[in-house]
A and B are shown apart, each in its own frame.
Chain A
């Protein structure tokens, strides 16, 4: 009886999950399939599979500079993630180990920072960067990305460090480590999962970020992938297969990372809320 009810429940649940997966996957699948079609096919037979497996549209997309967009995105993402992880890690560790109410208060302020949407401060950020003469530099992206990634990452690390066994730190102190050595030699090597999940999470966000990149960068040579893809649309008004190919190229690296590291992704979020 119970068994049957359990099976019915899981069937319904699987149904929901399946439906949701379809909603997410169909556009992705269509993008991939459409990238292999010819310009004519995409309008004549939008739902039919491509007649031949040609990589021409990929070549055309690459020709516009998708390669350099990817390189730009990689650089900006890498730099931002490094800044975010280093600052958030040190901050969260200090906040969890501070005695008294001070640490908690600063933590709450950081959490509050998480609640400010990017759009709300777009104009001031633009003006600041413009006044600093940083427009059209990668720094103009790395700094705001870091500022936006840090609150969330601090929350993530905070939960992790709060659970970190104190005895290990005490053992390290007895072994002659100062605070910083304790952090670098004992805590950091054991924080792999937290760092991995923070890095993946932020990479996904930064890789896809569009609005700041659009505002800060006008020189084509610096453009990141999401902004660069927009170029494709302007360049080939009717070349949808090339646009789709460009999008596929943009999505692929992230998809691979996600599939490889999804374990950390889920695990880190399961520990939030402390």
Chain B
């Protein structure tokens, strides 16, 4: 049992509250990724778990043991830093064995632990080198090896791949996934890269402004974001979001209207929770549609292309829609992003009619909470 429990953790820097009551429970052996925009508190949360930062309220437990006031080394955690943080004056094996040496272990077990970690990571030939003689990828492996040698209950990663080039990052991503399977260890991983989050995580924790927005499996978060923030944060290009108002209710659905352009002409089925605020006519709402949800459906939209990005396998179309003004997307204001699953030979200025289904729309109420998920991803 080496899970991780965070209960009501709050943290202030001076008067600024950077963690506003975090509750999080991470199961034994789970790979959890913390994501969020910069300044959301994800790194602070990781440092709180590591014990590098204290908390002002709340509790941190590792494997059921309260470690809130414990020193970092007593917590059973190991951390891999963004810029490796290898000791330049020690050899690779010196770096990897330092924690065990400080813990007073005998040289024999230390050597065995180093050799085991080096074997897992394929750095056995570099053990006598200094960090300065290694490449970025090798340094990162040594940093991971240093964490492995200590056989911690929880591994903490602070954006470990962001200093590597794109090709190496992809390789290390796969390797970290393999490592997680092999060690079967609890891992908490901070990143701002949503590809890393989507591909590596068992569960993703989306943070914003010191709060947990949503916790869930990657695809669950992608398809069933609880609010407008999560919907906009996951997915690249971002979800298109347009402002609308409720026109009238009809059964389980509402008809919506665009405030500036009049009737949009379709109905969106909504979930109205018992006791929850009903969507009344005249209430401002927002509609979201993912760029890849365009393709087929009963609704159409005429788009004038502004920028066309041909990525080979797919085409990204940034354009203005005559009947739709997006208030939030990766394109400039007022633009809609459409992802077409093929190569297109379009020029800027060309008009194109794209289809979509009302079933692929998300509806957010005035508080930004999702009231209707896309039924057709």
Using a CB–CB cutoff of 8 Å, the interface residues on chain A facing chain B are 165, 167-168, 170-177, 181, 186, 189-190
- Who on chain B is nearest to A168 by CB? B85
Inter-chain contact B81/A173, CB cutoff 8 Å: no
A101 CB to closest chain B CB (Å) equals: 12
The CA of A168 and the CA of B81, in the complex, are separated in Å by 9
Inter-chain contact A167/B102, CB cutoff 8 Å: no
- Who on chain A is nearest to B74 by CB? A176
Inter-chain contact B73/A170, CB cutoff 8 Å: no
Given contacts A167-B81, A174-B50, A174-B79, 16 further A-B contacts (CB under 8 A): A170-B50, A170-B72, A171-B146, A172-B98, A173-B51, A173-B71, A173-B72, A174-B72, A174-B73, A175-B102, A175-B146, A176-B71, A176-B73, A176-B103, A186-B87, A190-B87
- CB interface residues, B 214-236, toward A, < 8 Å: none
Return chain B residues, CB-CB under 8 Å to A168: 85, 87
Inter-chain contact A174/B89, CB cutoff 8 Å: no
The 10 residue pairs across chains A and B that have the minimum distance between CB atoms: A176-B73, A167-B85, A176-B102, A175-B99, A171-B85, A189-B89, A174-B72, A167-B81, A173-B72, A175-B98
The CA of A165 and the CA of B89, in the complex, are separated in Å by 14
- CB interface residues, B 52-92, toward A, < 8 Å: 52, 71-73, 77-79, 81-83, 85-89
Inter-chain contact A173/B52, CB cutoff 8 Å: yes
Known contacts A167-B81, A170-B52, A171-B81; A177/B89 CB under 8 A: no
A161 CB to closest chain B CB (Å) equals: 16
The CA of A168 and the CA of B102, in the complex, are separated in Å by 15
Known contacts A189-B89, A190-B89; A174/B83 CB under 8 A: no
B149 CB to closest chain A CB (Å) equals: 10
Main secondary structure, interface of A, reads helix
Most chain A CB neighbours (cut-off 10 Å) among B73, B83, B86? B73
The CA of A186 and the CA of B94, in the complex, are separated in Å by 12
Using a CB–CB cutoff of 8 Å, the interface residues on chain B facing chain A are 50-52, 71-73, 77-79, 81-83, 85-89, 98-99, 102-103, 146, 150
16 residue pairs bridging A and B, Cβ less than 8 Å apart: A167-B81, A168-B87, A173-B51, A173-B52, A173-B73, A174-B50, A174-B72, A174-B77, A175-B73, A175-B102, A176-B99, A176-B102, A176-B103, A190-B87, A190-B88, A190-B89
Return chain A residues, CB-CB under 8 Å to B77: 174
Return chain B residues, CB-CB under 8 Å to A189: 89
The CA of A167 and the CA of B87, in the complex, are separated in Å by 10
The CA of A168 and the CA of B87, in the complex, are separated in Å by 7
Return chain B residues, CB-CB under 8 Å to A175: 73, 98-99, 102, 146, 150
Return chain B residues, CB-CB under 8 Å to A186: 87
Return chain A residues, CB-CB under 8 Å to B51: 173-174
Return chain A residues, CB-CB under 8 Å to B98: 172, 175
The CA of A176 and the CA of B105, in the complex, are separated in Å by 12
Most chain B CB neighbours (cut-off 10 Å) among A174, A176, A186, A190? A174
A104 CB to closest chain B CB (Å) equals: 16
- Who on chain B is nearest to A169 by CB? B85
The CA of A181 and the CA of B103, in the complex, are separated in Å by 12
Inter-chain contact A170/B87, CB cutoff 8 Å: no
The CA of A184 and the CA of B102, in the complex, are separated in Å by 13
A97 CB to closest chain B CB (Å) equals: 13
A57 CB to closest chain B CB (Å) equals: 48
The CA of A261 and the CA of B81, in the complex, are separated in Å by 35
Inter-chain contact A181/B102, CB cutoff 8 Å: yes
Return chain A residues, CB-CB under 8 Å to B71: 173, 176
The CA of A181 and the CA of B87, in the complex, are separated in Å by 14
Inter-chain contact A165/B85, CB cutoff 8 Å: yes
The CA of A216 and the CA of B79, in the complex, are separated in Å by 56
Inter-chain contact A170/B89, CB cutoff 8 Å: no
Interface residue from A167, A176, A181 paired with B83 (Cβ < 8 Å): A167
- Who on chain B is nearest to A174 by CB? B72
- Who on chain A is nearest to B143 by CB? A171
A168 CB to closest chain B CB (Å) equals: 5
A193 CB to closest chain B CB (Å) equals: 12
The CA of A165 and the CA of B81, in the complex, are separated in Å by 12
Return chain B residues, CB-CB under 8 Å to A170: 50, 52, 72, 79, 81, 85
The CA of A83 and the CA of B99, in the complex, are separated in Å by 31
The CA of A175 and the CA of B51, in the complex, are separated in Å by 12
Return chain A residues, CB-CB under 8 Å to B78: 174
- Who on chain A is nearest to B80 by CB? A171
The CA of A190 and the CA of B102, in the complex, are separated in Å by 18
